[in-house]
Structure formats: structure tokens, C-alpha cells
Structure 1
Amino acid sequence: MKHLYISFLVVFFVFFIQIVGGQAFISKPSLGFTQACASPLFNTFDITFSFTPETNSNPTNQFIIELSDSSGSFANPNILFTSTAGSVVESPATLNFSLPTSTSGEAYKIRVKSTGSGVTSQNSSTFAAYYKVHDSPFTINNSNENGSYCSGGSYLLTIDNPSDGMSDSPLQYPSLTFEWRKKTSPTTSVFVANGSSYSVSEPGTYFVKTDYGTCTSDSSSNHVTISEAGSGNTTSSINSSLGNPFCSTEGATTLSAISGDSYIWLKDGKEISGATSQTYVTEESGEFSVIINLGSCTASASILLESNGFTSSIDVADTETINEGGAVIASITTDATAPEFEWFFNEVVISGATTNSYEATQVGRYKAIVKQTIGCISTNEFEFIVKEPFPDVADIPNLISPNGDGINDTWVIPQNYVNGANTEVLIINAQGKTVFKTNNYQNNWPENQLDFQHINPVYYYIITTPDNKTKKGSITVVK
């Protein structure tokens, strides 16, 4: 009887454990993803799991999602999510979580715990997980596409980290690691090294990417082709920061050469004084070249730098004359892309004047502006003056009265001595000092008010024609 009672207790205890075990169970989490590749723009993932019992009897129960370390160990798990007490009561359940910014590895696992029953699920399947804190292209080698090293030497490639604050360099994120690769075909490459720099001792094309394992990313650099120079010279290339052609209205472009010991820059074959750095800043077009000392050998590079601005011309002189009722038609020729035209008269915009030509019928100052509206946005300006014809006087006057009454205010001489006649007009004062001299007289002396009070000053003129014939005389100034 005693043995029968003991047997009954054993059977009852086993049956009780089975019942309890059946009442508290959490299944292995099912991942809603194959890789967890998070970034500042996306960081939401989900898992699904079943549990028993399905009941509302424990209003304090919470489900906790735990993340292992990158090797799959839960020795020090990271809590990703904790549900609100009593909020998850129906099985199966799907819960969302976000990854910590330090996540980086190929062998993470997840498990689920229940605070009400103290039960923990099996571990999930292994998965790769990374938080891509940097996910954009970056540059190496100052964006130079080529480099060269002397035979037996090496060339150091580094990730750029500009101090201007405008570039999102991955070096600004200390947690990141990097993978240098060498191209083996247009679409394939092989791993060569880790680190923020790489010393190249074998010719080829190299680049570096942020190490996010099997997660794809845009955090990758430009490609740089490295060549080995012999004991003599090798050729390289020059990079223009604003491209080539460059838009001069954006400012100066920076020309960059490969890294070397010293540099000599030239423009159109002539050495540029003081240009001995790895870079040269210019706003000019032309053929630029550089000689680079690499130590035991040299390299040279050149670039035909062009501006993608435009050219224009106008078919009127700086000064035009019109008779009463006459007109001057000014026309502009330009190779600007989608040009726009604007005309001004005495610094005021002329309404409706928006074509490449304008008929000027008034005496005054004119200005035309041509604007290229597509591509390199830039402008050209032209100015010209329209005047009445000079009066055709027969004699050279010896008296003027610059009092502002509009009569005899300036010294007006015969037309064959003025306005393009290439005749020199020289005026000196009584002390022999030159006060006016020109080869294109415009009947405009005196240009400024002469200072005198009681004595009418006398000036002397010498007019010399292109064939060296001279006219001399005096000019008395009266009020």
C-alpha cells in the first residue's frame, strides 16, 4: 500500500509539472526581417511569437525583447522593448523595436521574456544587424582620381575630413570601421585592409567603404587609380574643385595635384611665381600644368581649364552721335544659353526692352545686360553714350565763359580736331603746368569749375594733328 501511494505521488507530480509547463510557454521568436539594417531614417523592426496561456487574469504581465551581443551571447543582454503592463493578451503577438546606435555585427539573436510567468523563449535565429550612422558618399585623396609612387615606395590613401563643416566625413563618427578594397573588374573588388588610411604599394584602383557587413550602404568613397613610377618621370592628373569647364561666377576653382614632396605650377607653359603647393586657386581659363617631386622620381600633370560662361559683343561704339530726329540701333550678338536681355537709359530700366537690339532715339547714357539663364548663370554688360553732333565751328575760339548759362560754357573747336581725329589737344596754365591733355577731345574743357575771383585767367593751347601740324594760341576765361 505504501509503495502504491508513493507511485501515485510521483505520477501526480509529473502530471502537475506537465500542466504547469503547458500553461506558461513562449515560442521561438519569428523575425520579420532577414537583416536589420537601421539608419537615422529607418529603425523599426518586428518579431512575432506565440505564448500560453491567453488570458486577462494577469494585468501586470509585461513582455520584454532582449538583444544579444554581436556573437549571440545573452550574458549581458540589451533590452530593446518592454510592453505596457497587461497590454499583450492575445497570441500570437507581433511587437516592434528599434536598434541601439552601437549595433554592429553578423550574429545577433533575440529572445522574449514574460515578467508574469518568468518564462523566457528560445533564442531566435541568427541575423546581421547594423546601425548605419553614416550612409552617404564621401571622398578620399582630396577627391583626386589618380596617384603615383616611386618604384619601391608606396602611396598613402586617406579618408578626407575637411574642416569647413560642409562635408559629412565618416571620420566624424568614432564608432565606425572601414574596409579598403581593390577593384578586380568594373563590378568586382577584393578586400585589402581595414582602417581610416591605406598605404598602397601595388598599382591598381582602390576605394574604401564603411564596414556594415552584409548590409548594403551608400557610405563609400570615390575610386583612386594608383600607378608606379619608374626612376624617371610619370604622368598624373589635376583635379578642378568646380569641375571642368567651371562656372567662374561661382568663384575660384581649386586645382589639386597628387601628393608629393614639392610642386612647380605653370600656366600656358610659364612658371607661376609662388605657386609651390599641392593646390592652386584660379579664376582664369588656360592650360595649367604641375611638376611634382615624388622623391626619387617626378610626375607631371596638366589640365586645359575652361570656363563655361559665354561671350557677347555689341555693334556700337562707346560714344555715338545722332542728329535731331535720328536714332542709333544697338544689337548684341551672344552665344549664351537661353539668354535674357535688359536695357537701361540713364540707369533706369527701359520697360519692354527685352530683345537683343534697341533703337536709341534720345541723348544720354545707355546700358545693356545679357544674362545666361541655363547652366552657369552669369551676365555681361555693355555701356555706351549717345550725343548730339559736335557743332561745326570754323575757328578756334580764344574766349570762354563757363558760368552754366549754356552759352560758350566749354571750349568748342572745329570738328577736324575732335572725337576720334587722333589729334592731341594740350592746355597749360600761365605757370606752364599742364591742366588738360587728350588725343580724343570731346569739346568738354573745362570739365570742372575753374576757381578765380577778380582776374580773368589766361590758358594756352597746343593742337597737334596726326601729321604733326600744330595750332597754338591762348584762351581767356571770363565769368
Structure 2
Amino acid sequence: MSSKTTSLFSLNTLLNFLMLLLLPSTILLFAQTPTITPQKLPFDKICAGGLTPDPIKYPGEFFNHYQANFKISGFDPSVIFVVELSDPSGSFVTTQTATTALPRLANTPPDTATDKWLTFAVPTNLVGSDTYRLRVKSSTGITSSNFNIGVSGSVQALTAYYKPYINPFAINNNQPTLSFCNGSSVTLTIYNPTPAIPTSSPANYPQLKYKWYKDGVLIPGESGISLSVSSNGEYYAELNYGICSDVNYSSQRVTVTGTSGNGATITSSSGNPFCSSLGNTTLTATAGNTYVWKKNNVVIVGATARTYQTNLSGIYTCDVDFGGCKSTGTVDLKVFEISSTISGVDEGKVNKIPEGETVSITTTTTAVSPSYQWLLNDSTIPGETTSSLDITAEGKYKVIITQTSGCQVSDEFSFEVSYQTNLNVPQIANIVSPNNDGANDTWIIPDQYISGTNTQVMILNSLGEIVYQTDNYDNYNGWPQTTIKFSNYNPVYYYIITPNGQSAKKGSITLVK
């Protein structure tokens, strides 16, 4: 008897067959859902920047390499992973900052199909914060939960700073003092003298924040590049790298004082008078904000600092601006000098002596422990080191008097000696040729009218103006005593000679070449 398959059997058989086909696919679907599971970070903060702790391996580099470990499942081997950084508040909603992938560090465990390590660097323009977060993102768009820095699930907020500047710096143009007008304020600012050189000042890194201190106490809420000050105190700034900070990354101390603006003064570092042979003296004005220096009421170009160096005497002033109120300091600066005199000759002139006779020269001086050097025609006269000298020879003489104790300062006198010739003439000359040829260069008159006779001598120009007048005329150093220039005509002058108790002699003098 043949059997017959029922319809019910056929239906069950079909359902079982379909279930056997679908079950592996369903299992495979659930098994292949990609997951990224961050492991605890091997560090609890990021203090990047600064010199690397391994200068041999990374010569001249700043420290900036970190590792993160995570597990994966369900990813194709071709998928790439990166470590992603949140915004400073810890949010990934609007800002996701990719870190920079680095080669694996030495001794890093090998990657497996499920266990991965990434080495990365944070951005060098990172804005420091204590609430950053890290996560992993795949090239397929899958993101992980945040990394923990403590026990599982307890702490995710991460301190992260990059320190591009790791040196002391300056504020207030590197000056130690600053003034302001009482009732107003003044601003302290990070000093940045060379913006073209980034490493010259932290001001070249706008992402940096600062901590400001007054009298050693932190000023709350002040983190900018400048600070407005309205009270006396000692101020300084420190780079704020959070828990990565270093007290060595701070400015000099600046003493800030209020002033009414009526007390600017100037002091000289070498005293007043000062010894110029020792070099410049430094003039220092009362501390203010801006300075304008003048000498004898003329502005000194470029002199706008608190100090000014000079080795010249004069009346120096400095206009000091204290931040709204101004004051001017003044000093009458004098160079230390000695006072000396010479007698027996006329300084700067040709002194005539009869050939064979001696003229005695004597000097006096206020110099302490003075030394004397006598010269004839620019050569030292051997053995002559006292304050006086007997002269019998013609030539150009000089004596140099030097103070040898304390400030070394000198006086000197020059004169010329020549033998006297007989210039006595029988009558008053009416022609002079002042061309420096040694003949008839000056006006010669009879000896009865020259020095010692108490005769008044006057010379006038063609307009009747007096150009020369004396009662002690000297034929050897006579008129004209300065050069008179003429070209197309011969100028005429007029003389009036009035001997003591006698009538005047009058006439003309023509100058010729």
C-alpha cells in the first residue's frame, strides 16, 4: 500500500528548511556590529611642549607624544582609527579636533585583531583647559565612548596644555617701576619687542593665558595679556599652564606707585659735576610711562627711555608722563674741570722777544697733584716738568696741565714765540696787504703810538662804523686781526690816533692784495 505525503508534513518541512537557511545570517548580523572600547589612559594629564625628556632620541624637539589603547570588534582590517580631542569644555558636539598621528613608540605592545594602540600629538595651538576629553573615531564614522583617566567610568575630564613658551619674560617694557596719576589707572602689558621672532615673547602666542599677582597674591579673574592697575603694589605675571605651570615661566617684578605729577627729578650716576674721562654718566628720570629728553631745550632725537647717557655738559630736562599728569625734571649737568692760568705770554698769539733774551712763563692750577708737560713744535721738551719754563728759542709752545689724583682732567695753553724785529717806522702806514705772505700783513704805526704810550687808536669803515679800538696797540699782532675778504675793489678804512695829551692824527688805510 503506497503512502501519501500530507500537506501538513510538507509545510513543516518547508519551515524548518527556511529556518536553517536564515539562522546563520541572523547570527552573523548581530556578531558583526562594530564596537570601539577605550581602555584606561596610561597618563592622567597632557603637558605637551617644553623640552623632551629624551633629547637623544628627539634632539631639539618639544615633548608631544602620547599613547592610547582601545579594543575593537566587527571592523574590517582596512579601517583606520584616530584619537579625537574635544573642545576645551569637553564637548564633541560642535568641535572635534583630530590629533596628529605619530609612529609607534618603542616598547609599544603589538596590535592584534582586537587590541590596538595609537600614538598621537596634540595641536601646538591648543587652548589650555582642565576639561578636555579623548575618544577614538574610525574612518567609517564610528566613535567610541570617552577615555577614562581613573578607575573605570569615574574620571573622564582631562587636563591638556601645550606650552609653546617655556622661558621667563618681561612686562612694562622690561622696566622695574611704573607710575600712574592718583585717581586714574595704568596698564601693565606683556612685553613684545620683536614680534617677528615668535620665541621672543609669550605675547606671540594668542592662545596663552596668564596669572597676575599683586604683592605675591593671585588676582582673581585676570588671565589676559594686560592688566589695568589703579593701586600701589608690586606686580608680576606668570604663564598659566594649569597643573602644568612652572614658576620659572614668569615676569620680572614691577613696583607701581601713584603720583600727583609734580615731583619729576633727574639724577646723574657719576655725580654732578662728573668726570668725563671715566666715560658717560647715566641720567635717570623719575619712573613714569613715557619720557622726552631735551638738552638746552632742544629735543634729543631717539631719547625716549627713562635713562640717557652722555659725556657732555649742559642743561638736561625730561618730560615725564605718569599716565595723565606730567612733570619735568631738570639737571644742570657739569663736567668736572680744573682752573688754570698762564702768565708771561699772551695765549694764542705770537709773542715777540729780543733775540738772546729770556722770557719766563709761569702757570697756576687748582688741579690735585698736577703734572706738567711742555712741548716745543709738538715735541716734548726733555726735563721740563714743573709749573714754569724759561724760553729763549723761537717756536710754537704748548703746556698741558693734568690732574693725576681722582678724576684725570687736563688744561692746556698754546702760544708762539718769535724774535722781535725792528718794526719802528717813521710814519703811519696807509696801505696794508693782508694776504698772509709775511710782509705788510698788518697795519704798522710808529713806536710812539704803540703799547705803553697810552695812545687811543680807532679804525672805522667807510660807513663810519668802528671796527677796531684799543689803547694798547701792538704792531706784532695788529689790525686786521681777522681775514677781510675783498675781490673787485680795494676797501678803504679810516684811522684816528689820539696820543695822550696831544691832538689826533687822522688818515686812511687802503687794503690791497
2:185 maps to 1:156? yes
Question: What residue in structure 1 maps to residue 170 of structure 2?
Answer: 137
- Equivalents in 2 of 1:463, 1:98: separation in Å? 104
Shift of 1:385: 5.2
Q: Is the 8 A contact 1:108 1:129 kept in 2?
A: no
Unaligned runs of 5+ in 2: 1-15, 52-59, 110-116, 150-157, 291-296, 298-304, 369-376, 380-392, 403-408
- Equivalents in 2 of 1:205, 1:398: separation in Å? 84
Q: Is the 8 A contact 2:127 2:161 kept in 1?
A: yes
Shift of 1:204: 4.2
Question: What residue in structure 1 maps to residue 293 of structure 2?
Answer: none
Question: Aligned match of 1:445 in 479, 482, 499?
Answer: 479
2:99 maps to 1:80? yes
- Equivalents in 2 of 1:63, 1:436: separation in Å? 105
- Equivalents in 2 of 1:423, 1:70: separation in Å? 102
1:129/1:364 Cα in 2 relative to 1: closer, same or farther (>3 Å)?
farther
Q: What secondary structure does 2:219 align onto?
A: strand
Question: Aligned match of 2:228 in 189, 192, 198?
Answer: 198
Kindly provide the CA deviation profile for residues 285-308 of structure 1, in whole angstroms up to 9, marking residues without a partner as x.
Answer: 6798999999xxxx999978697x
Question: What residue in structure 1 maps to residue 57 of structure 2?
Answer: none
Q: How does 1:159-174 map to 2 (within 5 A)?
A: 159-160=188-189
Question: What residue in structure 1 maps to residue 432 of structure 2?
Answer: 401
Question: Aligned match of 2:416 in 387, 390, 400?
Answer: 387
Question: What residue in structure 2 maps to residue 428 of structure 1?
Answer: 460
Q: Is the 8 A contact 1:29 1:122 kept in 2?
A: no
- Equivalents in 2 of 1:440, 1:412: separation in Å? 10
Question: What residue in structure 2 maps to residue 460 of structure 1?
Answer: 495
- Equivalents in 2 of 1:62, 1:145: separation in Å? 57
- Equivalents in 1 of 2:70, 2:499: separation in Å? 114
1:455/1:147 Cα in 2 relative to 1: closer, same or farther (>3 Å)?
closer
Shift of 1:81: 0.6
Kindly provide the CA deviation profile for residues 67-106 of structure 1, in whole angstroms up to 9, marking residues without a partner as x.
Answer: 333234444332231358xx88983478463533252223
Kindly provide the CA deviation profile for residues 328-360 of structure 1, in whole angstroms up to 9, marking residues without a partner as x.
Answer: 9x9x9999xxxxxxxxx99xxx9xxxxxxxxxx
The residue type equivalent to 1:398 in the other structure is: I
Question: What residue in structure 1 maps to residue 124 of structure 2?
Answer: 100
- Equivalents in 1 of 2:188, 2:328: separation in Å? 25
Q: How does 1:123-134 map to 2 (within 5 A)?
A: 123=147, 125=149, 126-131=158-163
Q: Is the 8 A contact 2:49 2:64 kept in 1?
A: no
- Equivalents in 2 of 1:73, 1:62: separation in Å? 23
Question: What residue in structure 2 maps to residue 35 of structure 1?
Answer: 47
Task: Supply the RMSD in Å over aligned alpha carbons.
Answer: 7.0
Using the TM superposition, name which of 191-200 and 117-126 deviates more: 117-126
- Equivalents in 1 of 2:456, 2:123: separation in Å? 86
- Equivalents in 2 of 1:362, 1:34: separation in Å? 91
Q: What secondary structure does 2:468 align onto?
A: strand
- Equivalents in 2 of 1:90, 1:160: separation in Å? 46
Q: Is the 8 A contact 2:130 2:160 kept in 1?
A: yes
- Equivalents in 2 of 1:237, 1:119: separation in Å? 68
Question: What residue in structure 2 maps to residue 340 of structure 1?
Answer: none
Kindly provide the CA deviation profile for residues 381-423 of structure 1, in whole angstroms up to 9, marking residues without a partner as x.
Answer: 9997553448465658722531554212123577x978xxx99
Q: Is the 8 A contact 2:349 2:415 kept in 1?
A: yes
Equivalent residue pairs, number: 385
- Give the % identical residues: 18
Shift of 1:460: 0.6
Shift of 1:206: 3.9
Kindly provide the CA deviation profile for residues 125-158 of structure 1, in whole angstroms up to 9, marking residues without a partner as x.
Answer: 4334145579621118997444563xxxx54231
Question: What residue in structure 2 maps to residue 373 of structure 1?
Answer: none
The residue type equivalent to 1:411 in the other structure is: W
The residue type equivalent to 1:91 in the other structure is: T
1:464/1:44 Cα in 2 relative to 1: closer, same or farther (>3 Å)?
farther
1:310/1:412 Cα in 2 relative to 1: closer, same or farther (>3 Å)?
same
Q: What secondary structure does 2:130 align onto?
A: strand
Q: How does 1:48-127 map to 2 (within 5 A)?
A: 48-49=67-68, 64-75=82-93, 76-83=95-102, 91-92=108-109, 95=119, 97=121, 99-110=123-134, 123=147, 125=149, 126-127=158-159
